[in-house]
Amino acid sequence: MYRAVVSAMNHPDPFNPYMGLFNFRSIRALSRTETEVDVVTPRPRAPPVGPYSEFGEIPSRHDYGSHEVHYPRFLYLLPQKLFKYTLSSRSFADMLPGYISAHFETPDICHAGHIHYDGYGLASYCRSNDLPLTVMGRGKILNNFYDLSQISRRKIRETLEYADGVFCVSESLARIANDITDTPKATVLPNGADPSRYPTDNERAIRQELGIDRDTTVIMFCGGYTERKGITEICEALDDIRGDDVAFVFVGHYGDLRTDLISALKASHHDNYRVLWEVPPLGLRRWFAAADIFMLPSHAEGRPNTIYESMASETAVVASAVSGIPEQVEDGETGLLIPARDPDALATALNSLIDDRGKRERLGANGKARLVSKGWTWEAHGQRLSTLHEAIIADGELPAGEVLN
C-alpha cells in the first residue's frame, strides 16, 4: 500500500458533473486497489457576476464515495488563449504546493491527470519534497504540441523531462511524448469500459421506452459539438446517408457547432433525430445499448473513451483512422476506419452498415471480444497504474520493457 496525491483540474464537481469523467473513473479505479488517494481539483476564482460566477458555489470539498476531492482556487485569467500557459499556470503552480502541504500527509508519489496544468503544478511540490511524479498524456496537448507557442512547449517539455513516468492513453501519443523528451520514458496506460455496466440484454425494452422501433437502425455520436470531432463532416454527409428507417442520436455537453448540426438536420431528408445535451452516465449507457452504429469522424484523438464504450456495448464503430483510433478499431473486424475530413467516405461506410444488419452485429460482437481480450477496462487500468506507481516508488524507474508495450 502507498499514498498518492492526485491533481486533476479536469474532474467533476457538484455543478459540472460530466467534466473529466475519465479522470474520475481513473482515480476511482486507483482507489479500489487499496491505494491511499488524496485528490485536489483546483478551480478558478469566481467573478461576482457573469458566466463563470457559478464557480463560487463549488464547495471546498466533495465526497464521491471512492475518494474525496478538494477544490482550492487559483487565478485564471481570460481570454484563455493569452494567459493559459503564462499567468494562469503560474498562479496554479504557486498555489498547489502550499495547499497540498497544508491539507494532506506527505505522499509517496504524486500523479497528474494531465501534463498541464496538473503536472506542471505538481512538479515544484515534488522537487521540494524529493517525490516522484507521474503524468497522464492525453490527446489535445500532445497532438497539438508543435503548434503551441514557445513558452507553452517549454513548460510542457520541462514537465515531461522531470516526470518519472509519462502514461499515455495510446501508442501514438507515447511516441510524441518520447520525441519531446531527451530520455524516452512514456508507456501506454489505456482507459477502458466495463461491459457489465451496459444493459445490452435489455435493448428491446430500452428502445421501447425511448420510442424507437426494433427494426430502426440507430446511428449514435457522442463527443463535443466541435470541428475537431467531425461535426462539419457529419453535416456534409447527411444527405448521402440512407434515410429509410434510420434514427440519429447525438450526445454532447460542450462545443459551439450544436446549432449548426440542428440546422443541417432540419434541412436534410432525415426526420428521426435527437440532439441531446448533458446526458447522465446511466442514460448514456442506455443509448449505447440501443445504438447499432457509433460514428466518430474526428480529426485527432488519443484513444477515445467513447469507442471503448461502443465496444463494451457491442456497437459497430465507424471512425477516422487518426491518432490512436486504429489501435482500438480493427478495420473490417470491429468497425470501419475512414479517412479524416472525408464526408463521402463517412456516408459510404455508414450506408454499408445500414444495409447489412449481420455485418454490423458481427463487428459489434467482435469489438466486445477485443475489449475483453485486451483488458481495456477501468479495473485493469487502476491495477496497472498502481503497479507502475509501486515500481517507481521502489526503484525510481519503470520496469524494463514498459515503453510502448
Domain check: are 103 and 15 in the same one? yes
> Burial of 239 by CB count in 10 Å (0-12 exposed, 13-18 middle, 19+ buried)?
middle
Is-contact 388 111, C-beta < 8 A?
no
Q: Work out the percent of the chain whose per-residue pLDDT is above 70.
A: 95
φ and ψ at residue 251, rounded to 5 degrees = -125, 125
Give pLDDT, residue 113.
Answer: 98
Mean pLDDT of the chain: 93
Segment 375-383 shows an average pLDDT of 97
Three-state secondary structure call for residue 45: coil
Per the domain annotation, does 118 fall within a domain? yes
**Domain count for the chain:** 2
User: In whole angstroms, what is the distance from residue 241 CA to residue 247 CA?
Assistant: 11
- For 186-238, write each residue's pLDDT tens digit: 999 999 999 999 999 999 999 999 999 999 999 999 999 999 999 999 999 99
Q: What is the reported pLDDT for 47?
A: 74
- 74 and 145 co-located in one domain: yes
CA dist 49 and 52 (Å) reads 7
215 and 152 within one domain:
no
- CATH number of the CATH domain containing 123: 3.40.50.2000
Average pLDDT over every residue of 21-44 = 96
Q: What is the pTM of this model?
A: 0.93
- Indicate if 297 and 162 belong to the same structural domain: no
Does 206 map to a domain?
yes
Give residue 80's pLDDT: 53
Q: How far is CA 383 from the centre of its chain?
A: 19
Residue 282 burial (10 A CB sphere; 0-12, 13-18, 19+): exposed
Q: How far apart are CA 157 and CA 154, in angstroms?
A: 5
Residues 285, 207 share a domain: yes
Residue at grid coordinates 509501486: 390
The number of C-alpha atoms within 13 Å of 310 and in the hemisphere containing its C-beta is 34
- Judged by DSSP in three states, 98 sits in helix
Say if residue 83's pLDDT is above 60.
Answer: no
Q: What angle do CA 134, 136, 139 make, to 5 degrees?
A: 155
Q: For 205-215, how does the pLDDT look when each residue is reduced to its tens digit (9 = 90+)?
A: 999 999 999 99
CA–CA separation, 269 vs 259, rounded Å? 17
pLDDT of residue 398 exceeding 90, the answer is: no
Quick one: 177 and 204 in the same domain? no
Of 15 and 221, more confident? 221
In a domain, 382, yes or no: yes
Phi-psi category of residue 166: left, alpha or beta, with phi > 0 → left and psi -120 to 50 → alpha: beta
| Domain carrying residue 205 | 195-374
Per-residue pLDDT at 167: 98
Q: Which class for 74: exposed (0-12), middle (13-18), buried (19 or more C-beta within 10 A)?
A: buried
Bridge partner residues of 135 (DSSP) = 112, 166
Say whether pLDDT at 267 is over 90.
Answer: yes
pLDDT tens digit string along 275-329?
999 899 999 999 999 999 999 999 999 999 999 999 999 999 999 999 999 999 9
**309 and 281 share one domain:** yes
